[in-house]
Every structure is written in structure tokens, then in C-alpha cells.
């Protein structure tokens, strides 16, 4: 039904869902030139300036935004737990969850289109959406409230990995909201607006803020660098494989039509000891050149790594224990969509590893098990947070996220 | 000597100092199209895309960059103390300071032109400078090391204000480095590179990270909004007054030719209680409309506030206790250049108030004293950090910051 796959935002061009999924960056957002021009001093505007603050992504659609849409420069992951009376009935708990999802859906549609939420005390901070996306996921206990029959088998704590040093502060929550935007002021306002509107229904468990390269500083689609200086995300599924990897298809099933899963791990990176590693050892550990991201067996970033390549002495060009070698999808169906963000938190730093895939057990877990067994990079990286969420299907205008998944 | 006021960066256009000071945003940076193109995937580039990551600001010049140059989207303020043996001689202390200033000058010139520092382990993270500026200031004890005769009278702790609740964690340091860039990855790499290179000479006292609207999301020159939703910085000196306000002139003297001062205060803002304030009370407390920043006596943001204006009942239109009324420069020479950044730090948030002026005592202090006596906004704001720095004059190629201020 193409009619439900487009969103109409007053004053903007329509954004087709197909454009969001497979189109170029230019097609992925709706540029609403002059959208908020009334709040800007006319004399400061240069006619030739192409401003991206008014770019919007459609909220309504078959799938939620913020998954296969291009990753904006900043993300704020907001983990929430529902406020529930001890011993509350299933019906009462379901009611709280429904209210949370209704509020989130209404607020997301408003904020993503550049409007404040209802009774917003600072709606001016919403007028520069800059590709704001708001994406909602549920932990196991929340899907159980929604409908125990719908809990997918993979929606549980990940297997215990030997490399993990998980801190309780970054653990599982009942609800997860991923906010992304190219503007930090917008992002902060949006997150606070959601927290305020949910205040009587949910408490904040943690917030993880991350960054990539700024919008417009590099060509759209440039692979971001993590804080080790490495290109991060090169091996993401290409357009033809993205749909299946994230939303299911031949051999992979999504937990709900239009839904997917998110594995969110906080991976601390020891920048101090990594600084002591020289360039050859860095490249050897990764299996790629830090300089341009090319696999050691190839010439260009997007060349496929050749794990069988041997050097003149007969040694593997890409070490069997390198990160590339261990993380490379062994089966086509293993491919996951990495959409991570760098974080700096006082003297600690690392990567907010965010991966979307149709089935956590069939895609993420086998890769992570190989990395756990052996990955040269493990010497400098430590997973300190871990959570798994079922990402809800998108919703149509007039509805709310998760509506069709409630029983009756 | 105009020849010393321009920097020549290989592959870039020249940037004139005059352009940096008084020009439009377009003149303030050097757009080096294709500068780092070799590291970008060609197929991701769209020919029409105007990328700002390769924009550079000149380091060398009569004055330091990062003061009157347009404020980039992100700032990181790095406070350092010199490592000194107890009882070290003045000559030994001076040697440490000279080494710090030489390293900072060399590193700043490299990083600001898009190159890594010497022995940079991640030079790829420097290739997207995005208007990176690095600006260096000294606290009282450091200027005393440099030359006791050059310590300006205002280079000391600010008077104690009744509204202050200063936390030791955000106090005075011996050296201050302000880094600004439109890209967070660049900014983080640059700050770490400086910390590493200075490791044997200086320790980090604190780091304050802040943000404004993203580059290109709004017209260049749009006044930023703080986390209360207010336009912040509207009353900054206009072009014709900027030079005198910051670097001295008739009636104001700078501590060193080409030097200035920085007052850096961390002002916590209580977003929770501010949320309870309705729109009329917000506008009344500020003396401006939150919506567009216009003074309550005027129509447009940049209209001069008329403190004598009365309404039909004879009451002042702008309350005598409003923030605008108290902070408005009483004398032309009081004008200061505010160049602040928003911060969010866990559950705390506020403004990194950064003000440049030729003379702290004659410009900043009288304004702050009036705000201390009465400012309706004080109910929701609390200064929790405070430091004062002498900002060094700029340096020429082949020299280093502060060189001409050392004795002999």
C-alpha cells in the first residue's frame, strides 16, 4: 500500500519510504527550505547557503525511521523502565505500556517534523530538526506485557562472553528510545521533552550520547572513524542485502512484520594503550589499513577481504585472529547493520555499538562468539554494557507504535 | 606588516587577518575543496555537495584565532597545570612553560591546517579540521613565571559573588587551551593529541565540552539558543566595536599588544524548575521574548533594549531586575564578547560562559556585580566554576606563543 508509505508534512515535500530505504542521502530527507525561516534573522542568511537544519525524516511508515536511514551526526540512546505498582495486574501494566507508546509516537511525529511536543516550554529548540529520528524498542519484559506470545526467542540477555566486563549502569531496560540528529541542541531538547512527557510512566535508566563526523564535513556515506582512528562500518550490508539482513527474508524471519532487533553494546576502548601500538601492528590486528580502511588483501576500502590470500612467505595476508577475519560474515545471512557512535565520557571513551538485524541469534551471536574466542583487538576493547531490544514496526498516521501487537 | 598576517597552507587559499576579524563567515575560513579528497570514497561524493570539513582557520597572525573568528559548533576547554618539582627555580619553571608553549604552538599550527601532530598515531583523524581553532591562555601563576612585571591587575580570582557556589573541580588552572571545531571527532583527536604531547610537562585539571547549533543547520551568524531556549549572545559588540572591546583602544588597554582576557565560568542551569515557568514569566525575567530574542521594548532581536519604555499603566516594559536590564552595558567600554557553549553532563546542564574582553575589571566585573545584586534569572542559574586567563598575543610562523613576553 504505497499510500501508507509516504508521510505528508505540511510545507514539505513528500518523502517516499522507498527513498528512505534505498535512495541516496539526498532522497532520504525532505529539505524544507525556509521551513523555520521566520525564526532566523533575514540579514544573516546568505542566499547561496544550503541549510540542512530543516531536513526532516518521515516518522510514519511501514517501518520506523533511524534504522536504514543514513546515520546523522549525533545519537542519544535513552533507556527507560516502566513505573508500575508492585503486583499490578497484566491489564494495568499493559495500560502503562500503551500510554508510553502513544506518547512516544505522538511526540516523535511532532519533533521529527520540527514542532515542539504538546505544552513544550521551548518549542523554538525543535524548529531545527536536522534529520531528527526517534526509534523505539522494547526489552523482553515489555514485549511480555504487550503479548507473551510475541516474545521472540532471541529477546533475552546475550550469552555470557569471556571478554565482557559488564557494568550494571549500562544494562538492559524495558524500553529504549534512539534519537539521532545532526544538531545537538535539537537532540538534547527532544530527549528531554520525551523524558518529561513520560515522567509519570517511566524512569530513565541510562542515557548514552555519541557522535560521528558532522553533517556536511565529509561526503555523505563516508565511513566514520572510531576513536582508534579506524574506519568503522565498512562491511555493512550493501543496498541489495540490507532489506533481508535487517527486516528478514529468505532464511531469516523478523519477529514482527516491519520490525527488527537492536543489539546495543557499550564497548570501552583503551586509547592510552592503543597509542603505544605502531602502525603495522594496528593494521595487522584489524586486518585493514587504518589509513584508508582497505583490507590488507586489497587496495580499496570496499574490496572484499580475501582470507585465503598469502604473502610471498606463505603466511596469511590477513591474520586469522584479526578483527576482520573473525567478524566477517561466514554465511550471507549473518550480515548485520552496524550503526554505531563514538562516545567520550570523562576519561573513558569508546564505541556505542548499535547493530540492527532480523534475528539476533542467527546473525549477531555467531559473529560475537567468534570475536569472543579470538580477536586481536580484544586486548584494547572491553564490552561494559549490553542490551537487546525488539524494534517495533512503524506506525501509520492516527495509530501508535506497537498498536497491532497488543492482543485483541 | 600584512605579510605576517596571512598564513599559507599548501593547497589552500590565503586567509587574511582582516577577513578573520571583520569579514563574513565566508571570508573567515579557507575552503580547501578536495583537500582530503584522497581519503574519501569517490562514489559517495555528490558533485554539488559543499563540504565544510576542509575549512581551515589560520593559526599564525598578530592575534590568536578562536576569539573573534566565528564560533564553531563545538568547543573543548582544556585546563592544565604545569608539572614542576617542589622548590624549582624560576629559570626551571620558565623552561617548562616555554616548552609547553612551543609544543602547543607547533601542534596548533599542524592540527588547524588538517595535519596530525608529530608522531601522531591517528593523523587520519586530523584531516577534517572543520574550522578547528586552538587558543591558549595563562593563569596568574603562569604569567608570573613568564614575567612578573607583565601580570595584569585583573589576572586574579574574580570578586566573590553571592550567587556563586563554586566547585573546586572547575577552578583556576595555570594554562587554558580552548579548542573549537565543527566536527567532534576532530575536536576529540586534537585535544588528546595536545594532552599526550604535554604529558611530561602538564597535567589535565579539567575538561569542559560544549555545543552550539551545527554548522550549516542554520544561517551562519544566527544567535545560538541556550538550554533555557533563550537566544544567547544577542548583545555582543557589533563589528565596529569588537576590536576595542576585545583588544583595547580608546579608554581600554590590553595587557599585551594583541592579547586579551578570557573569563570562563560554568553556569549550571536548573532545567527542571525552569520548565515550570510560563512564557510571560520567562520573557519578563529575561527582558526579551524567548520566541525571537527581541527586547520587550522592541520588535526585532537586534533592536536596542529601551530601559525607559513604559506600558500603558506606567510600568517599565523591561523590568529593572530582568537579566537584560542588569547585564546591559552601562558604558560603551563595558561591552564584552560572549562566546559561550551549552553543556550537558549527566543530569546536570548549563552554559560554559566564555567572555573575551580587553580588561576584566573594567568590563566583565561591573556587569557581573549588577547581575549578582539582582537578576531575576538567578533563581534558575548557579555559577559552579570560575577562572580567568590572560590570552596570549598571536605568533608568527617560526615563533611560538608568548615568546616576546619572556624576559631577555
Centroid of chain to Cα A338: 7
Query: Predicted ipTM?
Result: 0.88
Q: Is B232 a catalytic residue?
A: yes
How far is residue B64's CA from residue A227's CA, in Å, rounded to a whole number? 28
Instruction: Name the residue with cell 541469534.
Output: A361
Residue A171, phi then psi, degrees to nearest 5? -95, -165
Report yes or no: B49 at the A interface, CB cutoff 8 Å: yes
Give chain A positions within 8 Å (CB) of B220: 44, 46, 49
Q: Which of A46, A196, A212 sits opposite B275 (nearest CB)?
A: A196
Q: Tell me whether A397 touches chain B (CB under 8 Å).
A: no
Q: Is A283 on the interface with B (CB under 8 A)?
A: no
Boundaries of every domain in chain A: 2-405
Q: What residues of chain A lie within 8 A of the CB of B302, using their CB?
A: 41
Please, which residues have CB within 8 angstroms of residue A315's CB and are 6 or more apart in sequence?
Answer: none
Per-residue pLDDT tens listing for chain B (408 residues): 333 333 333 333 333 333 333 333 333 344 433 333 333 343 444 445 679 999 999 999 999 999 999 999 999 999 999 998 889 999 999 999 999 999 999 999 999 999 999 999 999 999 999 999 999 999 999 999 999 999 999 999 999 999 999 999 999 999 999 999 999 999 999 999 999 999 999 999 999 999 999 999 999 889 999 999 999 999 899 888 899 999 998 788 899 999 999 999 999 999 999 999 999 999 999 999 999 999 999 999 999 999 999 999 999 999 999 999 999 888 878 899 999 999 999 889 999 999 999 999 999 999 999 999 999 999 999 999 999 999 999 999 999 999 999 986
CB-CB under 8 Å, B196 with A275: yes
CB-count burial class (<10 Å; 0-12, 13-18, 19+) for A385: buried
**Burial label, B94 (beta-carbon count in 10 A; 0-12, 13-18, 19+):** middle
What residues of chain B lie within 8 A of the CB of A50, using their CB?
A: 50, 216
Task: Identify any residues that bridge with A82 across adjacent strands, giving them in sequence order.
Answer: A202
Smallest CA–CA distance from B45 into chain A, residue: A219
Q: How far apart are the first and last CA of chain A?
A: 24
Q: Rounded to a whole number, what is the distance in Å from the CA of A261 to chain B's nearest CA?
A: 27
A246, A281 contact by CB (below 8 A)? no
Contact between B355 and B339 (Cβ < 8 Å): yes
Query: Residue A87: left if φ>0, alpha if ψ -120 to 50, beta else—which one?
Result: left
Confirm if A293 and B33 have CB atoms less than 8 A apart. Answer: no
Q: Do B188 and A51 touch (CB under 8 A)?
A: no
In chain B, whose CA is at the least distance from the CA of A131?
B217
Amino acid at each position: 500500500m504505497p499510500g501508507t508509505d509516504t508521510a505528508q508534512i505540511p510545507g514539505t515535500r513528500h518523502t517516499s519510504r522507498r527513498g528512505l530505504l534505498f535512495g541516496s542521502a539526498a532522497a532520504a530527507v525532505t529539505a524544507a527550505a525556509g521551513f523555520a525561516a521566520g525564526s532566523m534573522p533575514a540579514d544573516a542568511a546568505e542566499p547561496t547557503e544550503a541549510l540542512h537544519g530543516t531536513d526532516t525524516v518521515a516518522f510514519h511508515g511501514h517501518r520506523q525511521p533511524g534504522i536504514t536511514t543514513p546515520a546523522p551526526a549525533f545519537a542519544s540512546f535513552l533507556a527507560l523502565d516502566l513505573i508500575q505498582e508492585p503486583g499490578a495486574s497484566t491489564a494495568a501494566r499493559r495500560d502503562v505500556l500503551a500510554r508510553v507508546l502513544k506518547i512516544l509516537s505522538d511526540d516523535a511525529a511532532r519533533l521529527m517534523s520540527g514542532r515542539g511536543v504538546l505544552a513544550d516550554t521551548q518549542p523554538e529548540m525543535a524548529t531545527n530538526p536536522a534529520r531528527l529520528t526517534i526509534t523505539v524498542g522494547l526489552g523482553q519484559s515489555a514485549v511480555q506485557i504487550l503479548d507473551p506470545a510475541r516474545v521472540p526467542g532471541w529477546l533475552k540477555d546475550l550469552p555470557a562472553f569471556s571478554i565482557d566486563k559488564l557494568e550494571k549502569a549500562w544494562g538492559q531496560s524495558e524500553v529504549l528510545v534512539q534519537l539521532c540528529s545532526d544538531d545537538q541542541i535539537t537532540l538534547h531538547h527532544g530527549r528531554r521533552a520525551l523524558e518529561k512527557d513520560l515522567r509519570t510512566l517511566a524512569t530513565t535508566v541510562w542515557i548514552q550520547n555519541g557522535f560521528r563526523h558532522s553533517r556536511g564535513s565529509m561526503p555523505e556515506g563516508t565511513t566514520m572513524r572510531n576513536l582508534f582512528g579506524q574506519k568503522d562500518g565498512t562491511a555493512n550490508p550493501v543496498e541489495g542485502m540490507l532489506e533481508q539482513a535487517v527486516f528478514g527474508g529468505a532464511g531469516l524471519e523478523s519477529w514482527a512484520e516491519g520490525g527488527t532487533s537492536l543489539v546495543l553494546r557499550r564497548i570501552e576502548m583503551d586509547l592510552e594503550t592503543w597509542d603505544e601500538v605502531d602502525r603495522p601492528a594496528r593494521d595487522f590486528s584489524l586486518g585493514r589499513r587504518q589509513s584508508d580502511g582497505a583490507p590488507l588483501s586489497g587496495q580499496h576500502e570496499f574490496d572484499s577481504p580475501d582470507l585465503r590470500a598469502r604473502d610471498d612467505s606463505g603466511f596469511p595476508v590477513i591474520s586469522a585472529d584479526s578483527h576482520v577475519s573473525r567478524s566477517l560474515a561466514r554465511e550471507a545471512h549473518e550480515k548485520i547493520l552496524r550503526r554505531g557512535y563514538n562516545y567520550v565520557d570523562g576519561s573513558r571513551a569508546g564505541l556505542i555499538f548499535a547493530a540492527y538485524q532480523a534475528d539476533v541469534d542467527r546473525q549477531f551471536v555467531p559473529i560475537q562468539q567468534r570475536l569472543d574466542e579470538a580477536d586481536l583487538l580484544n586486548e584494547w576493547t572491553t564490552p561494559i554494557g549490553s542490551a537487546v531490544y525488539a524494534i517495533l514496526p512503524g506506525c501509520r498516521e492516527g495509530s501508535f507504535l506497537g498498536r497491532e501487537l497488543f492482543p485483541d
